[in-house]
Amino acid sequence: MSEPAAIAVDQFLAHPPAKVWRALTDSDLLARWLMPNDFRPVPGHRFTFRTTPRPGQGFDGVVHCEVLELDEPRRLRWAWRGGQLDTVVTWTLVPEGRGTRLFLEHAGFDPEDPVQRRTFTLLDGGWRSHVWRRLEQALTHLA
C-alpha cells in the first residue's frame, strides 16, 4: 500500500501558466497571497517566509525554505522547514483550456510519526477524494 505522506490540493486558475508562474516566483506577489518572504527565483537560493509564531506548537513563525527546482513555467519545488516540519512543497502548472491547473503537493510529513503516517495512509488515493468529503459532510451534520 502506498504511503505518500502528502497533502495534495489543486485549483483551476483562469490565467495562462506564464502569469501563474509570475505570481509564484515574484517575491512581492508571493507576499500578497502567501507570506512575506525574501524569495528569489534562483536554484539553491535559501529564503524564509514569516508568519505568526505558534509557541505552543514549537513554531517561531519562520519557515526556512530553499529553491530545490525551478523549471519555468512548469514546476517549482521548495524545501519547507519550520517547527516540527521538514517537508517539500511542489507546485506543478498544467495548461488547461485558456487557463492553468495548479497542483500543490506538500510532502514529507514525518514518516516516523505514527499519527501522521496513518493519517496519510488513510487519505491516499480515491478513498480520500471520493469518500472523505462525504464523511466530512456527515461530520458537519453532526455538529
Partner 1 sequence: MSEGDVFAALANPTRREVLRLLLERGEQPVQQLADHFDMRRPSLSEHLRVLKDAGLVTEQPVGRQRFYALRPEPLRQVADWLGPYERFWRARLADLREVLDGLPDE
Residues lying near partner 1 in the complex (CB under 8 A) = 1, 7, 9, 11, 13-16, 18-20, 22-23, 29, 32-34, 102, 104, 106, 114-115, 118-119, 121-123, 127, 130-131, 134-136, 138-139, 142
Residue closer to partner 1, measured from CB, 97 or 115: 115
Residue closer to partner 1, measured from CB, 42 or 122: 122
Q: Which stretches does DSSP call E strand in 1-143?
A: 6-13, 46-50, 62-71, 75-82, 85-96, 99-107
Residue closer to partner 1, measured from CB, 44 or 130: 130
DSSP 43: T
Residue closer to partner 1, measured from CB, 1 or 112: 1
- Shortest Cβ 143–partner 1 spacing (Å): 9
- Shortest Cβ 71–partner 1 spacing (Å): 19
- Shortest Cβ 42–partner 1 spacing (Å): 21
Helices (H) and strands (E) in the chain, counts: 5, 6
- Shortest Cβ 90–partner 1 spacing (Å): 12
Taking CA atoms, 142 is separated from 42, 122, 123, 138, in Å, by 49, 21, 21, 7
**Closest to 104 in 3D by CA, of 126, 78, 130:** 78
Helix, coil or strand: residue 19: helix
